[in-house]
Amino acid sequence: MYFSKLLSAVALCSSASALYVPGDADVNVQNKDQTPTALPEEPLNGTAYRPIMHATPSQGWMNDPNGLWYDTKEEVYHVYYQYNPADTVWGVPLYWGHLTSKDLQSWEDHGVAIRPPRNDSGAFSGSAVVDTNNTSGFFNDSIDPAQRVVAIWTYNTPESETQWISYSLDGGYTFIDYANNPVLDLNSTQFRDPKVIWHEESQKWIMTVVLSHKYAIQIYSSDNLREWTLESEFKNHGLLGFQYECPGLAKIPVSKPANCEMQLKDVSYPVKNNTDYVWVMFLAINPGGPQGGNFNQYFIGDFDGKKFTPFSEQTRFLDHGKDFYAFQGFYNSQFKDSFLGIAWASNWQYSAYVPTNPWRSSMSLARKLTVRPYNPTPESVQLVLNSEPVFVPEDMEFNSNFSSWKDLKLTSGKEEVFEFGSTPLGAFEFNLTFTANDTGLSKHSLGDFSIYLEGAKDPDEYLRLGYSTQAADFFFDRGNSKVSFVRENPFFTNKMAINMEPWEILAPGVKVFKVRAIFDVDILELFFNEGTAASTNTYFLTEENHPASLKFKTSVDNVFTVNELSLRQLTF
């Protein structure tokens, strides 16, 4: 048994006084000090790649989000994460790092929250619950019911993976390990990532946890978080990849798109009840994702307290980009009409080589999820998770200069340039509604509407995104960069695409699309048609070569109209 101690808060974006300490993290790590020392990457600086809104550790390595919970008393979000403070690559001992935020865009770093007992081991991924009614017996009346936090995590050693629980008596800043850990031991080396929720209907705790190499999500129930009963397995579903990781079960509110009247009863397969929620099973795989590396999928169905039953046998993408993994939902949040969660915004294929310093990886923005009926074709109504990013203040003003560009017809001979109008800092957002009319367009024509974001200091570097009527896909190209990592790493795919069906069809061949794009220094989150689909991808132009404008180009005439564009720099 061990006790974690409270680290004094460290401002996340402070300049880290990192020292280079030679040695291989896998072999030599003996770092028992809770003030981590990071190893900078060799020639590059990398410090300017830190996103403004996306959660990052002050220094060191970060992967999966863990133990997400919301303190309803203090109105604070707690984000723990897989943390190697001793290096900018993964390694043991692996800790739970700890960040907090009130607005989901500025983050306070509290260092290590949970540490593993041995230096060759890890406090691997897991979740947190608020044990309001003290079912665990860990709390007395001095602990506010809103802060009775229990973390459930995987203790990984070279010999085994078992499930441990730890509780906090100080509102989630330090944890005490339960004396009789582990609470689950199957004598397996591939048994991990417990996610626990409270199941109101059966008045039980429910844990999903994977037998990674058996492609099985096990579902356990418990009255007290200490003793667990196996209820069922959800096995060999979806894309298997090499292994299952980070499962999660969530009761998610049903919403309706603004422009339609579809109901659950209209869905093209039997849906259990026409109620105001459905159950969603999240599942991550790595490696073996369809675009290479890691991938997050989900299933929609019903959960009866023992067994998850999907409504249909589909494989769905939680996000279509390369940098979105290990999604986890928050226990509690301030949002009652949606489900809040966060993912790791990187890819195991290349996460150890990205040129950031003295840390590696960020989280995604927090996302509000709902399930909604939607018709990808006129003949089918499907259920889909709808994603909406959240950060505060959401009501930050958009640049009013852009109102004059409403209903702008694009022509092949003319570039339309929208300048930000102030010093570019790398964080900005645009919302775009455009119409494509491809009736009569030659099949020889690409029919693209391209948005170029050139670096202000060196326009030879640029991001390109856009839409092609012929491919019916939205695209993002992050390959036009002078950064050697971008050019040379064989897994940093340049051109990503996502099928985007129209938000609205005004007439045959006349289609309306909506895109929301949030850029944050080295990460782009795209949301299509008010969130029907999302795509998250990192990018690296030369440091501080931030774009200062959007440049709209098209190869065709009389096809594209910009109906509405709003743009703002995000400078909090």
Question: Which amino acid is present at 340?
Answer: L
**Selected binder of its own copies within 160, 431, 437, 470 (CB under 8 A):** 470
Spell out a b/e string for 106-115, using b for 16 or more CB atoms within 10 Å of the CB, else e.
bbebbbbbbb
The minimum distance between CB 346 and its own copies, in angstroms, equals: 13
Nearer to its own copies, 365 or 383 (CB): 383
Site for its own copies in 248-287 (CB under 8 A): 268-269, 287
* Residue 373 binds its own copies (CB under 8 A): no
Instruction: For the segment 63-102, give every residue that binds its own copies (CB under 8 A).
Output: 87, 89-91
Which of 70, 139, 430, 475: binder of its own copies (CB under 8 A)? 475
Contact (CB, 8 A) for 267 and 312: no
* Segment (H or E) for 321: none
* Cβ–Cβ under 8 Å, residues 526 and 429: no
Question: With CB under 8 A as the contact rule, which of the stretches 163-171, 175-183, 464-472, 538-546 interacts with its own copies?
Answer: 464-472
Q: Quick one: CA dihedral 52, 58, 59, 63, positive or negative?
A: negative
Q: Is 291 in the site for its own copies (CB under 8 A)?
A: yes
Q: Work out the angle at residue 318's Cα, subtended by the Cα atoms of residues 314 and 322, and round it to the nearest 5 degrees.
A: 120
- Tell me which residues in 310-349 interact with its own copies (CB under 8 A): 310, 312-315, 317, 348-349
User: Which two tokens mark 142?
Assistant: 């001095």
Q: Which of 115, 204, 237, 372 binds its own copies (CB under 8 A)?
A: 237
By CB under 8 A, is residue 305 in contact with its own copies? Answer: no
Cβ 491 to its own copies, closest distance in Å?
6
The CA distance from 13 to 188, in Å, is: 40
CA–chain centroid gap for 500, Å, is: 20
Q: Is 154 in the site for its own copies (CB under 8 A)?
A: no
Regarding 213 and contact with its own copies (CB under 8 A), the answer is yes
Q: Other CB atoms closer than 10 Å to residue 236's CB: what's the count? A: 10
Q: Does 119 bind its own copies (CB under 8 A)?
A: no
The rounded distance, in Å, linking the Cα atoms of 499 and 86 is 41
Among 3, 5, 26, 180, binds its own copies (CB under 8 A): 26
The minimum distance between CB 569 and its own copies, in angstroms, equals 26
What CA–CA distance (Å, rounded) separates 342 from 365?
A: 6
State in angstroms the smallest separation of the CB of 499 from its own copies: 4
Residue 479 and residue 48: Cα distance in Å, rounded?
A: 20
292 interacts with its own copies by CB under 8 A: yes
CA angle 122, 206, 228 (to 5 degrees): 70
Residue 109 bears catalytic tag: no
Residue 472 binds its own copies, judged by CB under 8 A: yes
Per CB under 8 A, which of residues 518..537 are in contact with its own copies? none
Is residue 290 near its own copies by the rule CB under 8 A?
Answer: yes
- Distances in Å between the alpha carbon of 551 and those of 74, 122, 548? 44, 47, 10
Residue at token pair 């289609």: 511
The answer to whether residue 382 forms part of the interface with its own copies (CB under 8 A) is yes
Of 370, 364, 365, nearest to 324 (Cα)? Answer: 364
Which residue among the candidates 64, 87, 109, 448 is catalytic per the annotation?
Answer: 64
**Minimum distance from CB of 242 to its own copies (Å)?**
6
Scanning 220-228, 249-257, 291-299, 425-433 for contacts with its own copies by CB under 8 A, the matching segment is 291-299
Query: Interface with its own copies includes 24 (CB under 8 A)?
Result: yes
Q: Is 157 in the site for its own copies (CB under 8 A)?
A: no
Q: Nearest distance from residue 197's CB to its own copies, in Å?
A: 23
**Is 238 an interacting residue with respect to its own copies (CB under 8 A)?**
yes
Tokens of 101: 């935020």
As measured in angstroms, the least distance from the Cβ of 114 to its own copies is: 22
The count of other CB atoms within 10 Å of the CB of residue 33 is 10
Residue 366's closest CA among 70, 151, 59?
Answer: 70
Under the criterion CB under 8 A, does residue 28 sit at the interface with its own copies?
no
Q: Which stretch binds its own copies (CB under 8 A): 224-232, 338-346, 363-371, 462-470?
A: 462-470
Q: Which is nearer to its own copies, 132 or 437 (CB)?
A: 437
Q: What is the dihedral of CA 324, 330, 333, 338, to 10 degrees?
A: 60
Kindly identify the residues of this chain, within the stretch 479-518, that bind its own copies according to CB under 8 A: 479, 489-499, 501
* Site size for its own copies (CB under 8 A): 78
Quick one: 164 or 374, whose CB is closer to its own copies?
374
Q: Which amino acid, one-letter code, is at 527? A: F
End-to-end Cα, the chain, rounded Å? 42
Among 22, 43, 413, 440, binds its own copies (CB under 8 A): 440
Span from 68-76, 198-206, 224-232, 443-451 in contact with its own copies (CB under 8 A): 443-451
What distance in Å separates the CA atoms of residue 126 and residue 115, rounded to the nearest whole number?
A: 13
| 76-79 CB contacts, 8 Å cutoff, 24+ apart | 76/100, 76/101, 76/102, 77/101, 77/102, 77/104, 77/330, 77/333, 77/366, 78/128, 78/149, 78/172, 79/55, 79/107, 79/342, 79/363
Instruction: Please name every residue paired with 206 in a beta bridge, in sequence order, or none if there are none.
Output: 197, 221
236 binds its own copies (CB under 8 A): yes
Asked if residue 137 binds its own copies (CB under 8 A), the reply is no
The one segment of 7-15, 176-184, 196-204, 441-449 that binds its own copies by CB under 8 A: 441-449
Please answer whether residues 105 and 392 qualify as being in contact, where contact means their C-beta atoms are separated by less than 8 angstroms.
yes
Spatial contact of 495 and 464, defined as CB atoms under 8 Å apart: no
Report 388-407 residues binding its own copies (CB under 8 A): none
Q: Is 240 a binder of its own copies (CB under 8 A)?
A: yes
- Binding string, residues 552-571; x marks residues near its own copies by CB under 8 A: --------------------
Binding mask 352-371 for its own copies (x = CB under 8 A): xx------------------
Question: Active-site residues: which are they?
Answer: 64
